[in-house]
Amino acid sequence: MVSRSCGRNSLIRVVAIAAAGSGLFYGSSNPDSSELYFQFLLMFVFCVFNLRKLVNSSETRISLSIPATLHESVLVQRQMSQSFTPHSPFISSDCWQFGNVSLVSSRVNPASSGSIKKEYPVTEEAPVKEETTGDVKDGKDSCCRCLGRDTIANAAARVCPAVVNLSAPREFLGILSGRGIGSGAIVDADGTILTCAHVVVDFHGSRALPKGKVDVTLQDGRTFEGTVLNADFHSDIAIVKINSKTPLPAAKLGTSSKLCPGDWVVAMGCPHYLQNTVTAGIVSCVDRKSSDLGLGGMRREYLQTDCAINAGNSGGPLVNIDGEIVGVNIMKVAAADGLSFAVPIDSAAKIIEQFKKNGRVVRPWLGLKMLDLNDMIIAQLKERDPSFPNVKSGILVPVVTPGSPAHLAGFLPSDVVIKFDGKPVQSITEIIEIMGDRVGEPLKVVVQRANDQLVTLTVIPEEANPDM
């Protein structure tokens, strides 16, 4: 009788210690869980009270049940703790056996509990790399704007086979002084290569003089002799053609107008004859004006990035994370790091179209200096002159060149252009896009003048002087 009593008392101690111990362990592991710890203590008292009633029975197998509300609070607290700590405070074990007593651990699978039907969120699947394309997927839908560990590598891999190294003779005062180097990208399987003009031609004024045959080396080691088909001085864009009896890889052209400051981009090329060179960075500015860089002549806009480029990168592609060409690397600031510039691919594509259509780039000229208006500039101008037109947007005309098409059409300084060729306009870029290569074609322009006077003018653009 004494041994049986001692055995039962030992059993009570084991269960009591297990219940109290699990509560103490959980409370010490979760300093902010005082309420839940108190519930464990209540459960412990409840267990001891019921065990004393059971010790007189012949059954020694005891099972402990946790109320559903307490069980759910435990699981919710566990999920919250897992989201903030790398390891769960619960001991991972399914069951411990002490003689005939089964002590179930506090870690319970919700799916196996009959009293709990609530579904808990499942953790997201880890990214999976597809074997066929090498692209990274997140297990559900692909996110082309998300940056993963292979995003840059995938983008470079799509364009890399089409990147070429260019080498052309370099002359100084008619004397051959070595060879210049640059890069380019095959943009058509027929062997059309997009590159920078200064890599493959010499300019005397605006006239392009080919440097001679261009040596073209592909990433796979094949070499070709290229011919310069077209080159434009102002944009610094050129087209080189190679002929091949075997298929040539071609890169896809993207859209530079979709770029925003902060977007990731990749610069590719062959700096200092180092082929297969890839550098990455972000877009710093999407519309850097040529005047901001101290460049004269016609108005131009560039993509500014912080990608590392060096001698030999000129003409190489600037690529977005989708593996599409969005620019042509053209120059950098020599005395600074992280100041690189590229011709937007939208501009380069229009130049290519004009090469095919006209054999050269035709640029209409109006003879106007123009300025995009915004709320701040408009407010400042109205402070200076209360008669300034009440506009919310438009293009201000500060200067009209005497004898120009605009002067002959009746433009005046301080005019605000609000419509061009029947279309509302808010930027100089829109006017340039509307004009395209339309030379000698009458265009209707609506301007708003002081005291809100509306005037419709007809201007006939002339072809710009290439040496301007």
Three-class DSSP category at 56? coil
Cα(312)–Cα(276) distance, integer angstroms: 12
Residue with tokens 């130049």: 351
**Catalytic option among 22, 33, 235, 236:** 236
Is position 198 annotated as part of the catalytic site? yes
**Catalytic option among 22, 106, 198, 202:** 198
Cα(130)–Cα(124) distance, integer angstroms: 17
**Catalytic option among 106, 314, 340, 347:** 314
CA 281 to chain centre: 10
Q: Give the number of C-alpha atoms closer than 13 A to the C-alpha of residue 202, restricted to the C-beta side.
A: 15
- With CA atoms as reference, report the closest residue to 74 among 101, 109, 50, 49: 109
CA 105 to chain centre: 49
| Strand 324-332 to 252-253 pairing | parallel
Three-class DSSP category at 277? strand
Do the beta carbons of residue 266 and residue 277 sit within 8 Å?
Answer: no
Q: Alpha-carbon Rg of the chain, whole angstroms?
A: 37
Is position 314 annotated as part of the catalytic site? yes
Do the beta carbons of residue 283 and residue 261 sit within 8 Å?
Answer: yes
Q: Which residues are catalytic?
A: 198, 236, 314
